[in-house]
Structure 1
Amino acid sequence: MEIAQSESLIQSPAYTPEPHDRQNPNVWDALYLDTAIPVDPIAKAHMIRDLRSWTRAYLLLPIKLIANTLLALIMTVKRLLPFQFSNYVLMHRSAAWFLKHFVSPEACYLIVRHICLGSNIVNFLIENGPDSTIESSKLYPHTVDDLAENAFLEHDIILYNFVLDYSKAQREHPNWLQQVHQKGLSYESIQPIDLNIDFNQRSWLQVLDLESAIELFKVFYSLCLTSDEFERAVLSLEFDENFGCYISQLVGDYNWNHVIANRNPLAPDSSFGSARRLLLHGIITEYLHRHLELRKLARSQPSHD
């Protein structure tokens, strides 16, 4: 599988490594071609292109300072107000418009893809979990415009409802894991992601990298949600370690969990670091999904024993 991963990276049309100069090796090529932590080749290509963005190099730091200043102001005012307000429609339509006009196609691709990966992972856990009747996720956007249909809010709600339903089912079916292992795992839910992101028709304004875009969007997110809803959205990033444990429990392999950077859900970070943690959350989701894809691939290949 590692050889196949290396070959697919080299052949990926989304990223072309430079000739290897031993006196001046390219850091981005090294990151891209390294297969220690498997990642989908196309997604990894867009990650590297996003990391090389000039906006990340020159604008990210001032954007962080401005965004956190505005976030502090908004959070303080909303906590002091005697009432709370929210506007989901404005938030999602503005986000979709912002992504289409100011954010690079690579970053847009990774954002839309992330929503779909989350649905695949949740559905895999339901399919192989203690109660297969738990409501599955049907959230599979194909374009940036699809995000305008409350995709971000629904993504968080699906996560929380799943955690609560999954925990309840585990309590009600104490022997479920043994039964699943006897039956064998199904990887039917780990399906290819179908996206429609245009990389050819980009305007001169579509330059923002992923982390810069998230920094700016978190400000508007905090404005358009109630204080409790924004806190819930931020705390959803703390469940990466939990989901890693869910998967490891099913597949019987905890050896890869060290790649999960968002840890200690009972000691959450502040909202001011949420953009960085959201970036890590997206990367960890890519790791987790690729881990399941490779297990599915290995299962489909004939044994040579």
Structure 2
Amino acid sequence: MTQNEAESLTPLDPAFFPYNRRNPNTWQVLYLDQAIPVDPVAKQYMICDLQNWTRNYLLIPIKITANLCLAVIMTVKRLLPFQFHFYGFMHQSATFFLKYFVSPEACYLIVRHISLGSNIVNFLIDNGPNPYLEKSNLYPQKVDDLAHNVFLEHDLILYNFVYDYHRAQQENPHWQAKLKQRGINFKSIRPVSVEMNFKKWRWLRILDLESAIELFKVFYSLCLTSDEFERAVLSLQFDENFGLYFTQITGDSSWNHVISNRHPLAPNSPFQAARNLMLHGITTEYIHRYLEIRRDQAELRED
């Protein structure tokens, strides 16, 4: 075994941590299971995050406190005769919070998620009813890049895409027949690069992903207007819609059952936003990996 191969091993790898048939390790089994394919590096960090001690000991008290604070903020802002927002302050504060208090694994997944979302939207545009719709250029590579209103822009890109996409479908009712003739274009499913220092300030960067999101949703609700916060929460339930968009393009619906954020016409409570965002992140990883596999299969057929 080379040094690089040894460094690439995770404690969940059987070559590093032997499997015990009389006392199976939950996370080792999940890591090796490929029933629903996920990028191996991202999956390693997901499972590492799920084992974080803050998730076991701090998540429940954080969730209770966060929901109490959220209830107060939402009530007060609904009663105020005016609305306010602080986009710049929100993103600068979120970036500082992520850099110094959230685990590197969780930060990696957050930064990666934005780029995956851009790949997915751009793929749908390339293969949709109008390939000239405005595409996403959000490709952050490090936590500092998130300070440039990335979270807000991510939501706006999603809503504007859905609006433009359906307008284009109305204007081009035979677009699927044309797609079948020219074939699926996978050029937007490009590699995602994330720069992350896993050692710097490690003693302070402890929070797991879901605990961090629970805290951040409170700050998000404070820094956005009531309508903007409601819009951000509802966007998480567009996963089902996106799954159907992909089915229209690929003709494959066999994987749609993995999508659990459903029914945007029956909005979930904002108190569930952190959990829904976790599910949204996982679904995005599923979809992107599915498209990578389809791309690789198409390239093999061409060869």
Q: TM-score range by the shorter chain?
A: over 0.9
**Contact 2:103–2:202 (Cα < 8 Å) also in 1:** no
Q: Distance in 1 between matches of 2:32 and 2:114?
A: 25
Looking at structure 1, the residues matched to 264 and 212 of structure 2 have their Cα atoms a distance apart, in angstroms, of 25
Shift of 1:16: 3.0
Could you tell me how far apart the structure 2 residues matched to 1:12 and 1:283 are? 26
**Paired residue for 2:219?**
220
Distance 1:195 1:58 in 2: 29
1:229 aligns with 2:228: yes
- Tell me the equivalent position of 1:196: 195
Amino acid at match of 1:76: T
- Given residue 123 of structure 2, which amino acid in structure 1 is its aligned partner? F
| Structure 1 equivalent of residue 298 of structure 2 | 299
Give the 4+ runs in structure 1 shifted more than 4 A: none
Aligned position for 2:10: 15
Match of 2:272 in 1: 273
In 1, the alpha carbon distance for the partners of 2:296 and 2:157 equals 27
Matches within 5 A, 1:237-252: 237-252=236-251
Matched residue, 1:173: 172
Match of 1:44 in 2: 43
Q: Against the structure 1 CA distance between its residues 85 and 303, is the aligned structure 2 distance closer, same or farther, given a 3 Å change threshold?
A: closer
* Residues 92-143 of structure 1: per-residue CA shift (max 9 Å, x gap): 0000000000000000000000000000000000011100110000000000
After superposition, what is the alpha-carbon deviation per residue over 1:233-265, rounded to whole angstroms, capped at 9, x for unaligned? 001001000001101110000010000010111
Distance 1:250 1:12 in 2: 40
Give yes or no for contact 1:107–1:209 (8 Å, CA) kept in 2: yes
Report the 3-state secondary structure (helix = DSSP H, G, I; strand = E; otherwise coil) of the residue aligned with 2:8. Answer: coil
Checking the alignment, whether the CA contact within 8 Å between 1:14 and 1:45 is kept in structure 2 is no
Shift of 1:185: 0.3
CA RMSD of aligned residues (A): 1.4
* Structure 1 contact 104–207 (Cα < 8 Å) conserved: yes
Alignment partner of 1:256 is 2:251? no
Residues 105 and 58 of structure 1, relative CA distance in 2, 3 Å threshold: same
> Does the aligned pair in 2 maintain the 1:50–1:106 contact within 8 Å?
yes
Of 259-268 and 163-172, more deviation after overlay is shown by 259-268
Q: Percent identity?
A: 63
Are 2:45 and 2:105, in contact at CA under 8 Å, matched by a contact in 1? yes
Q: Distance in 1 between matches of 2:112 and 2:302?
A: 32
What CA distance in whole angstroms lies between the structure 2 residues aligned with 1:294 and 1:169?
28
Q: Please tell me the residue identity of whatever aligns with 1:197.
A: M
1:53 aligns with 2:48: no
Distance 2:201 2:168 in 1: 47
Deviations 1:150-199 (A, max 9, x none): 00000000000000000000000000011001110010000000111111
TM-superposed deviation, 1:12: 8.8
Q: How many residues in Structure 1 have an aligned counterpart in Structure 2?
A: 295
Is the 1:68–1:272 contact (alpha carbons within 8 Å) kept by the matching residues of 2?
Answer: yes
Structure-1 separation of matches of 2:31 and 2:203: 26
The alignment partner of 1:220 has SS state of helix
Q: Matches of 1:15 and 1:112 in 2, distance apart?
A: 22
Measured after TM superposition, the shift of residue 14 of structure 1 is 6.4
Superposition TM-score, scaled by structure 1 size: 0.95
SS at 2:193 equivalent: coil
CA distance in 2, matches of 1:12, 1:300: 31
- SS of the residue corresponding to residue 20 of structure 1 reads coil
Look up the equivalent residue of 1:15 and give its one-letter code: T
Give 1:4's aligned residue.
none
Report the secondary structure of 1:301's partner residue: helix
CA deviation profile, 1:202-260 (whole Å, cap 9, x unmatched): 33110000000000000000000000000010010010000011011100000100000
1:69 alignment counterpart? 68
Task: Give the counterpart letter for 1:88 in structure 2.
Answer: Y
Correspondence for 1:287: 286
Check conservation: 2:129, 2:175, Cα contact below 8 A: yes
8 Å contact kept, 1:84–1:226: yes
Amino acid at match of 1:13: S
Q: CA deviation at 1:299?
A: 1.2
Q: Name the amino acid aligned to 1:84.
A: Q
Aligned twin of 1:7: none
